């Protein structure tokens, strides 16, 4: 009797606990209305909210300066600045969108913006502010145009790209010239083999598995033009994956690359275990904090193939009650002057055309961090968004799983890619 009472209690508790947490809010929650037909007309005044992503406390003074200047320029305007922590930002934006509380101006990378655009929650700024296009570089503006959706849904704010970073000490130790680092995949694999042989397998050059960006660089079409299906299961993608399979089989990559996420590559580089990584233009600065003795030994070179373009932008909520002020604020924060000032505080690059001739970005101060910044800036001209914005975290997880399975040799490259495409298309269709 006593036991069965315990069991009943446990059953009840588990029943509740299993179901709780799966409980979900109103699926039809909507935050915006009729966003597409905006117009910039109207007086710039009143209250407006601006949401940024993880800028406090490092850039508090900068943002307050930008906002104060805006309020000074437009008397009667009051900007409420919200800054959200780095972790869980997508969930925060999602809850705001579902609850109809999206701030008037909100920092959204393109992959966050697309689902909101599909729900008509963001303003088409191309329609509302047609003159805006001439101020920004095409790559930045293009990031906020989506297949199957008319319009442009954000002001590009700041840009970044990837640069190759090499541990010069390790390269030299194993007979490679840090001044002439590998520039193609074949050269990279050859160099990785040299490092492996000369270090008796104690050091790796390569430590990341291929992904969508590598397929794009190999000329593989990742998605259909309408953005509704993935198409990366091509013979070219399988051939690239086979090349990596061979390298993995030969022990040129650490085994745990199979379960490492992208950051694992940079982590191993920071610990001095691998001799190559890719990262943004400010990597050496952050490396100096994590591993001060390694930072001076690092040299940079341009990314292999087409450099990836990473874009941050400001979008305007379709539900804003102060459209003119919201548009003016988004444009103010992203103007050339404010972006240039921001870029002097950290290694990001302005998305405005006026900044292209700014010597600050194109001339190195002679340090390796300065060289990397210039390498990144000069790469931006040819950079483009290599991964489709439809590839969200869940989709990337599925792709990574299948690539890892192919690398491990438990399935063929073609089969892994076919499975990945089938599963990803199902997820897109949902």
Catalog residues that contact another protein under the rule CB under 8 A. 1-4, 6-8, 10-11, 14-16, 18-24, 26-30, 90-91, 93-94, 97-98, 112, 114-116, 118-119, 121, 254-256, 258-261, 264, 273, 392-394, 397-398, 400-402, 404-405, 407-408, 410-411, 416, 423, 427, 430
Work out how close the CB of 379 gets to another protein at its nearest, in angstroms, rounded to a whole number: 29
Structure-token pair, residue 372: 């990397």
Work out how close the CB of 42 gets to another protein at its nearest, in angstroms, rounded to a whole number: 28
Cβ contact 217:305 at 8 Å: yes
The nearer residue to another protein, 16 or 381, going by C-beta atoms, is 16
Structure-token pair, residue 331: 């444009």
The nearer residue to another protein, 103 or 181, going by C-beta atoms, is 103
The two beta strands, 155-161 and 349-350, are antiparallel
Nearest residue to 347 (alpha-carbon basis) of 326, 330, 368: 368
The nearer residue to another protein, 27 or 41, going by C-beta atoms, is 27
User: Other CB atoms closer than 10 Å to residue 218's CB: what's the count?
Assistant: 18
Work out how close the CB of 336 gets to another protein at its nearest, in angstroms, rounded to a whole number: 31
Work out how close the CB of 358 gets to another protein at its nearest, in angstroms, rounded to a whole number: 35
Tell me how far the alpha carbon of residue 359 is from its chain's centroid: 26
Work out how close the CB of 12 gets to another protein at its nearest, in angstroms, rounded to a whole number: 10
Q: Which residue has the tokens 């193609």?
A: 184
Structure-token pair, residue 179: 């001044």
What three-state secondary structure class fits 402? helix
The two beta strands, 105-107 and 46-53, are parallel
Cβ contact 315:108 at 8 Å: yes
The nearer residue to another protein, 74 or 209, going by C-beta atoms, is 209
Work out how close the CB of 253 gets to another protein at its nearest, in angstroms, rounded to a whole number: 11
The nearer residue to another protein, 119 or 282, going by C-beta atoms, is 119
The nearer residue to another protein, 15 or 341, going by C-beta atoms, is 15
């Amino acid at each position: 009797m006593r036991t069965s009472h315990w069991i009943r209690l446990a059953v009840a508790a588990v029943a509740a606990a299993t179901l709780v947490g799966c409980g979900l809010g109103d699926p039809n929650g909507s935050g915006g209305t009729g966003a597409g037909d905006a117009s910039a007309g109207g007086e710039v005044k009143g209250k407006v909210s601006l949401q940024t992503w993880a800028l406090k406390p490092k850039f508090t003074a900068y943002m307050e300066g930008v906002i104060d200047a805006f309020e000074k320029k437009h008397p009667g305007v009051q900007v409420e600045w919200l800054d959200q922590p780095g972790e869980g930002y997508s969930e925060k934006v999602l809850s705001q969108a579902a609850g109809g509380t999206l701030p008037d101006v909100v920092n959204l990378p393109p992959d966050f913006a697309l689902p909101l655009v599909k729900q008509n929650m963001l303003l088409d700024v191309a329609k509302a502010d047609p003159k805006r296009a001439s101020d920004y570089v095409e790559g930045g503006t293009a990031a906020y145009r989506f297949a199957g959706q008319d319009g442009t849904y954000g002001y590009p704010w700041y840009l970044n790209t990837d640069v190759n970073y090499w541990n010069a000490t390790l390269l030299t130790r194993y007979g490679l010239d840090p001044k002439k680092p590998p520039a193609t995949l074949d050269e990279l694999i050859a160099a990785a083999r040299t490092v492996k042989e000369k270090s008796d397998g104690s050091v790796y050059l390569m430590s990341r598995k291929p992904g969508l960006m590598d397929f794009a660089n190999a000329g593989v079409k990742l998605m259909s033009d309408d953005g509704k299906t993935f198409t990366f299961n091509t013979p070219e993608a399988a051939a690239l994956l086979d090349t990596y399979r061979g390298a993995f089989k030969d022990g040129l990559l650490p085994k745990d690359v199979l379960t490492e996420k992208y950051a694992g590559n940079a982590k191993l580089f920071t610990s001095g275990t691998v001799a190559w990584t890719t990262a943004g233009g400010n990597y050496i600065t952050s490396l100096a904090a994590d591993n001060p003795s390694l930072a001076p030994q690092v040299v940079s070179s341009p990314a292999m193939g087409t450099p990836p373009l990473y874009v941050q932008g400001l979008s305007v909520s379709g539900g804003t009650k102060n459209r003119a002020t919201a548009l003016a604020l988004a444009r103010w924060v992203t103007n050339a002057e404010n972006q240039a000032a921001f870029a002097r505080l950290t290694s990001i690059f302005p998305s405005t055309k006026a900044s292209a001739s700014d010597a600050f970005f194109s001339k190195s101060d002679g340090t390796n961090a300065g060289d990397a910044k210039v390498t990144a800036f000069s790469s931006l001209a040819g950079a483009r968004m290599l991964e489709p914005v439809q590839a969200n975290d869940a989709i990337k997880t599925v792709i990574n799983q299948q690539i890892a399975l192919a690398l491990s040799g438990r399935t063929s490259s073609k089969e892994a890619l076919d499975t990945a495409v089938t599963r990803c298309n199902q997820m897109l269709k949902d």
